[in-house]
């Protein structure tokens, strides 16, 4: 899957692609058929591996046919029944509804994407720890509201980045396990209860499906969309901090500042002297686009109605796919940006020394305290850096 409208999309590979989604849909149908057989609901001769019945050409066919029913499940079920033989064809999809299959398949796809982002965030933390340690004491001018503010260090700036990435890692790590969706036509498990003869047996089959797929057991959540919005929020939070990092690099790489440089800049189609900070530009792009996608997921959730939402549910699929793929792309780009980042310590020292009036606050504070101004004005920077580094090392130890 590639997207010329989103340079770098190839980094996401097959994650959340049409093919991955169809594979996940088939995986859900296959797992449910296995649960029916293992649970003694369907006969033993209905046991069939459905995963080999769909070909690379089928997603396009399913997509074209999905317009009539509003989702691809009806077409997929018809295709699977057409290509199977015997009892399996009769028992495929029995007890499920299309939303069960779509939502559970989305959870499988999302799980892979979140796992990829989490691994990349851990790598960002490792790289940032190295940057903080390497440039801990390198003088650098701090800015507030774009203007020279106080003396600081490059280590302090990178520690702030690290703190933000750690926050994102914490949010990802605190996401509840992604849940199975199994409720039947109206979220009551009525069909499965009829098939099994008891509500307890129906719930047990739902739990068996979750266990088979490696998802969390859950009650039906057809119009309670927190699993979607929580995951979306976590992805947006990641792009927030990456956008902050990219913005700082973009500002620091301006010719008149010259403190930060990307390892390999992009060229210009007409100006041979340019080395554009394209990783930072593309990361900033993702950070600008992600919040609106997250807001769409919340709007969809807020528009839930009855036992299956009319349109709110449908808008989630492509929105979540786009947000997940773009987050995966930005995660990899941020690693590359940090690994290749160059810091001109001579230039940052020079910019600091050239700043006017940045010690006025120190003089005022020293006068109030009736003491001679200290030789430096870095406050508790060392303590702050140590605290953030300790947190990072603890995180890496826990995640290893």
**CATH number, residue 383:** 1.20.200.10
Rounded CA-CA distance 128/393 in Å is 11
Closest CA to 43 of 91, 94, 96, 93: 91
Residue at a domain's end among 62, 77, 96: 96
pTM: 0.96
DSSP 198: S
What span, in angstroms and rounded, lies between the C-alpha atoms of 70 and 281?
37
Range of the domain at 386: 97-179+222-400
In a domain? residue 203: no
301 and 228, same domain (yes or no): yes
- Residues 89, 115: one domain? no
Q: How far apart are CA 153 and CA 166, in angstroms?
A: 20
How many domains are there within the chain? 2
Let me know if residue 140 belongs to a domain.
yes
Residue 343 has φ and ψ, to the nearest 5°, of: -120, 120
Residues 110 and 22 occupy one common structural domain: no
**Distance of alpha carbon 68 from alpha carbon 289, whole angstroms:** 31
Residue 14 among the catalytic residues: no
Non-local CB neighbours of 352 within 8 Å, separated by 6+ positions: 139, 140, 141, 151, 358
CA proximity to 250, closest of 278, 290, 286: 278
103 and 20 housed in the same domain: no
Residues 146 and 295 in one domain: yes
Check if the beta carbon of residue 235 is closer than 8 Å to that of residue 242: no
Catalytic residue flag (residue 342): no
Domain co-membership, 168 together with 278: yes
The catalytic residue among 14, 198, 268, 318 is 268
Q: What is the pLDDT along the chain (400 residues), one digit of tens a residue?
A: 679 999 999 999 999 999 999 999 999 999 999 999 999 999 999 999 999 999 999 999 999 999 999 999 999 999 999 999 889 999 999 999 999 999 999 999 999 999 999 999 999 999 999 999 999 999 999 999 999 999 999 999 999 999 999 999 999 999 999 999 999 999 999 999 999 999 999 999 999 999 999 999 999 999 999 999 999 999 999 999 999 999 999 999 999 999 999 987 665 445 455 578 999 999 999 999 999 999 999 999 999 999 999 999 999 999 999 999 999 999 999 999 999 999 999 999 999 999 999 999 999 999 999 999 999 999 999 999 999 999 999 999 999 8
CA distance 279 to 337: 6
Residues 49, 80: Cα–Cα separation, whole Å = 11
Q: What per-residue confidence (pLDDT) applies to 268? A: 47
- Determine the pLDDT at residue 273: 56
Out of 83, 308, 349, 391, the active site residue is 308
């Amino acid at each position: 899957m590639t997207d010329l409208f989103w340079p770098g999309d190839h980094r996401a590979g097959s994650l959340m692609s049409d093919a991955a989604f169809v594979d996940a849909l088939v995986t859900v149908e296959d797992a449910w058929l296995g649960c029916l057989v293992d649970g003694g609901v369907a006969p033993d001769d209905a046991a069939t591996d459905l995963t080999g019945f769909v070909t690379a050409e089928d997603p396009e066919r399913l997509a074209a046919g999905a317009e009539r029913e509003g989702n691809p499940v009806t077409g997929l079920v018809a295709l699977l029944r057409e290509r199977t033989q015997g009892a399996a064809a009769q028992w495929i999809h029995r007890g499920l509804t299309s939303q069960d299959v779509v939502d559970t398949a989305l959870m499988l796809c999302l799980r892979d994407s979140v796992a990829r982002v989490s691994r990349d965030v851990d790598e960002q933390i490792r790289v940032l720890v190295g940057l903080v340690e390497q440039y801990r004491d390198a003088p650098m001018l701090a800015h507030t509201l774009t203007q020279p503010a106080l003396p600081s260090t490059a280590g302090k700036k990178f520690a702030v980045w690290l703190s933000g990435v750690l926050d994102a890692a914490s949010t990802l790590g605190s996401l509840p396990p992604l849940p199975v969706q199994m409720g039947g036509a109206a979220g009551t498990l009525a069909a499965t209860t009829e098939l099994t003869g008891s509500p307890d047996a129906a719930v047990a089959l739902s739990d068996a499906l979750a266990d088979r797929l490696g998802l969390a057991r859950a009650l039906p959540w057809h119009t309670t969309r927190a699993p979607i919005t929580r995951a979306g929020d976590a992805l947006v939070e990641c792009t927030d901090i990456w956008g902050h990092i990219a913005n700082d690099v973009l500002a620091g790489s301006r010719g008149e500042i010259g403190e930060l440089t990307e390892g390999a800049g992009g060229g210009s189609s007409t100006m041979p002297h340019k080395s554009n900070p394209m990783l930072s530009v593309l990361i900033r792009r993702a950070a600008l686009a992600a919040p609106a996608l997250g807001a769409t997921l919340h709007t969809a959730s807020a528009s839930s109605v009855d036992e299956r939402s009319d349109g709110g549910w449908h808008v989630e699929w492509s929105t979540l796919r786009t947000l997940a793929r773009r987050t995966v792309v930005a995660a990899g780009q941020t690693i590359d940006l940090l690994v290749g980042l160059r810091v001109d310590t001579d230039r940052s020292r020079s910019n600091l020394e050239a700043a006017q009036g940045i010690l006025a606050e120190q003089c005022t504070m020293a006068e109030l305290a009736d003491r001679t101004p200290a030789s430096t004005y870095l406050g508790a920077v060392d303590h702050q850096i140590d605290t953030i580094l300790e947190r990072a090392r603890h995180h890496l130890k826990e995640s290893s």
